[in-house]
């Protein structure tokens, strides 16, 4: 089998990276490509630096279930400097019989002879180069011929996709359009987590008092108290996890706004919302109010902040790659002061000590109770469960690098 190793900071992963990987796979017959994010010094500028956890999550969203790719946390989990030769040796041990290709962009070829133990790298792998700018083929061939004595180098004939992570980060920070360079789920992830100084829509005026009046008039006393409690819990969670407390209060307050509408109206709103809704959600009455609620606050209250809309829309079913605000509303609803199920105190503690752990517990709890009632598990709930399971697994690997690395 031919496998590819593709390392980089992936900060964030963009269309140029994906183009490089696919071009290499098609032209040189690679069947599996390991995407290996490198460690970035946390001392780098905080606006530009995002955690390994976020970069892993974006990689996973970008390649989703494509069987060509395997996202590897090898370098992030390793406690020594990320020299490529160590990564190559690691994958060589895992694939003693396979043909290995190390994938790089053309800028890397030009500086390749300055890499630590580059000749040893070339004795283990074929270096596979994809151009990053128009008209550089002659220069690349010349450099490959110079280096070629040490091993095999192949150059893809595909035309370049000119983009860099630096350019994407700059556009995000300057509030310019960046969506065209990235996978749409990665765009959503960056927006919802506010990465790279993304500030998003700040035009919304939060006026909880007016919304409280509306809720009081349209909800039962019990549901109204629950909404206030969830809002208060969301504010506390936001303070703990660095999210905007007013925004969290507002989203928590409105999460159940459509819960007591007649079923037919909830369904009508959910169907006309235009949001992507899976079949299981449409077949489960108790889930309609969340989709309906997001659509309602958008159309009736003019809420445009996508993060608030998603926090309301996903507060029942959850999903993979939830934003911090989405996580806060999801948990706030589960642990608010009026909740009294058996394990609520444990969930409360966990929510304030281990956010990913609490999310995983919450998904497991939700899936178990659906199964117990003979209900249907929405696809995004299953995906959410898998997402947090992987996050927790990676956290363990990073804190204990000796555990099975990919
Ligand atoms: P930055 O701008 O932050 O330096 P980058 O866009 O160069 O990032 P990296 O994650 O550092 O991306 O690069 C990982 C690998 O992907 C490198 O081998 C790089 O040459 C290659 N690469 C990056 N962008 C492209 C592109 N547009 N076309 C082909 N290869 C690319």
> What was the pLDDT predicted at 206?
63
Is the residue at 188 inside a domain? no
pLDDT band at 18 (very low <50, low <70, confident <90, very high): very high
Tokens representing residue 400 in the block = 């204990």
Q: What whole-number distance in Å separates Cα of residue 93 and Cα of residue 37?
A: 19
Q: How many domains does the structure of the chain reveal?
A: 2
Q: What whole-number distance in Å separates Cα of residue 402 and Cα of residue 379?
A: 33
Lowest mean per-residue pLDDT among 118-132, 210-224, 254-268, 392-406: 392-406
The domain of 53 spans 2-181
> What was the pLDDT predicted at 202?
44
pLDDT surpasses 70 at 1: yes
Q: Does 214 lie in the same domain as 141?
A: no
pLDDT surpasses 70 at 222: yes
Average pLDDT, the chain: 92
Q: Which of 181, 210, 232 is the last residue of a domain?
A: 181
**Max intra-chain CA distance, the chain:** 80
Is the residue at 191 inside a domain? no
* 239 membership: H or E segment, kind and range: helix 221-241
> What was the pLDDT predicted at 27?
97
Is the residue at 382 inside a domain? yes
Tell me which residue of 94, 116, 109, 121 sits closest to 34, measured CA to CA.
Answer: 94
Is the residue at 196 inside a domain? no
Phi-psi sector, 161: left (phi>0), alpha (psi -120 to 50), beta: beta
Q: Does 177 lie in the same domain as 233?
A: no
Burial label, 401 (beta-carbon count in 10 A; 0-12, 13-18, 19+): middle
pLDDT surpasses 70 at 205: no
pTM for this predicted structure: 0.57
pLDDT surpasses 80 at 23: yes
Q: Which of 181, 209, 241 is the last residue of a domain?
A: 181
161 lines ligand 1 (CB under 6 A): yes
The tokens 């008209």 sit on which residue? 135
Q: Does 242 lie in the same domain as 389?
A: yes
Is the residue at 195 inside a domain? no
* 48 membership: H or E segment, kind and range: none
Which residues neighbour 215 within 8 Å (Cβ) at sequence distance 6 or greater?
A: 224, 227, 253, 254, 257
Which whole number is the average pLDDT over 152-157?
95
Is the residue at 251 inside a domain? yes
30 and 2 Cβ atoms separated by less than 8 Å:
yes
308 lines ligand 1 (CB under 6 A): no
Q: Does 273 lie in the same domain as 162?
A: no
Ligand 1 atom closest to 162 (CA): 27
pLDDT band at 203 (very low <50, low <70, confident <90, very high): very low
Q: Does 365 lie in the same domain as 394?
A: yes
CATH at residue 237: 1.10.3210.10
Q: Does 11 lie in the same domain as 147?
A: yes
Q: Does 365 lie in the same domain as 264?
A: yes
pLDDT surpasses 60 at 403: no
pLDDT band at 376 (very low <50, low <70, confident <90, very high): very high
CATH at residue 74: 3.40.50.620
104 lines ligand 1 (CB under 6 A): yes
Q: How far is the CA of 8 from the centre of ligand 1 (A)?
A: 7
Strand partners, 5: 34, 102
Q: Does 298 lie in the same domain as 238?
A: yes
pLDDT surpasses 90 at 173: no
> What was the pLDDT predicted at 401?
60
Q: Does 126 lie in the same domain as 62?
A: yes
Q: Does 30 lie in the same domain as 122?
A: yes
Ligand 1 atom closest to 13 (CA): 10
Q: What one-character DSSP code corresponds to residue 206?
A: P
Question: To test ligand 1's pocket by mutation, which of 164, 171, 172 has the most ligand atoms within 8 angstroms of CB?
Answer: 164
Is the residue at 190 inside a domain? no
Q: How far is the CA of 17 from the centre of ligand 1 (A)?
A: 6
pLDDT surpasses 70 at 201: no
Is the residue at 186 inside a domain? no
Phi-psi sector, 55: left (phi>0), alpha (psi -120 to 50), beta: alpha
Q: Does 218 lie in the same domain as 81?
A: no
10 lines ligand 1 (CB under 6 A): yes
Share of the chain above pLDDT 90, in %: 78
Tell me which residue of 62, 61, 87 sits closest to 4, measured CA to CA.
Answer: 87
Q: Does 175 lie in the same domain as 97?
A: yes
Tell me which residue of 1, 3, 7 sits closest to 104, measured CA to CA.
Answer: 7
Q: Which of 181, 210, 243 is the last residue of a domain?
A: 181
Q: What whole-number distance in Å separates Cα of residue 134 and Cα of residue 306?
A: 37
The model's pLDDT over 258-288, given as tens digits with 9 standing for 90+, comes to 999 999 999 999 999 999 899 999 999 999 9
């Amino acid at each position: 089998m031919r496998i590819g190793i593709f390392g980089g900071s992936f900060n964030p992963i963009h269309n140029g990276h994906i183009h490089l990987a696919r071009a290499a796979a098609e032209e040189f017959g690679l069947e599996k490509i390991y995407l290996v994010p490198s460690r970035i010094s946390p001392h780098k500028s905080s606006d530009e630096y995002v955690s390994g956890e976020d970069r892993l999550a974006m990689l996973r969203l970008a390649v989703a279930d494509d069987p060509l790719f395997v996202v590897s946390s090898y370098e992030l989990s390793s406690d020594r400097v990320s020299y490529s030769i160590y990564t190559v040796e690691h994958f060589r041990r895992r694939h003693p019989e396979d043909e290995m290709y190390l994938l790089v962009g053309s800028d890397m070829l030009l500086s390749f002879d300055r890499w630590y133990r580059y000749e040893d790298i070339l004795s283990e792998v074929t270096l596979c180069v994809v151009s990053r700018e128009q008209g550089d083929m002659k220069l690349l061939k010349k450099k490959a011929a110079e280096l070629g004595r040490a091993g095999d180098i192949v150059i893809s004939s595909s035309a370049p996709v000119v983009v860099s992570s630096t350019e994407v980060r700059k556009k995000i920070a300057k509030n310019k359009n960046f969506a065209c360079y990235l996978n749409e789920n990665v765009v959503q992830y960056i927006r919802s987590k506010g990465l790279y100084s993304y500030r998003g829509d700040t035009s919304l005026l939060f006026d909880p008092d007016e919304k409280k009046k509306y809720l009081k008039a349209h909800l039962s006393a019990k549901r109204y108290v629950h909404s206030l409690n969830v809002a208060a819990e969301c504010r506390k969670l936001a303070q703990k996890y660095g999210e905007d407390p007013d925004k969290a209060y507002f989203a928590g307050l409105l999460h159940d706004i459509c819960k007591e509408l007649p079923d037919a109206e909830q369904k009508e709103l959910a169907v006309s919302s235009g949001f992507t809704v899976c079949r299981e959600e449409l077949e489960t009455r108790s889930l309609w109010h969340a989709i309906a609620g997001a659509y309602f606050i958008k159309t009736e209250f003019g809420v445009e902040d996508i993060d608030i809309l998603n926090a309301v829309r996903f507060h029942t079913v959850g999903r993979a790659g939830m934003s911090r605000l989405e996580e806060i509303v999801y948990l706030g609803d589960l642990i608010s002061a009026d909740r009294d199920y058996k394990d609520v105190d444990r969930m409360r503690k966990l929510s304030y000590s281990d956010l990913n752990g609490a999310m995983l517990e919450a998904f497991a709890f939700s899936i178990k109770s659906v199964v117990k009632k003979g209900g249907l598990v929405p696809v995004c709930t299953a995906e959410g469960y898998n997402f947090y399971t992987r996050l927790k697994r990676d956290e363990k690997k990073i804190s204990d690098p000796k555990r099975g690395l990919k």
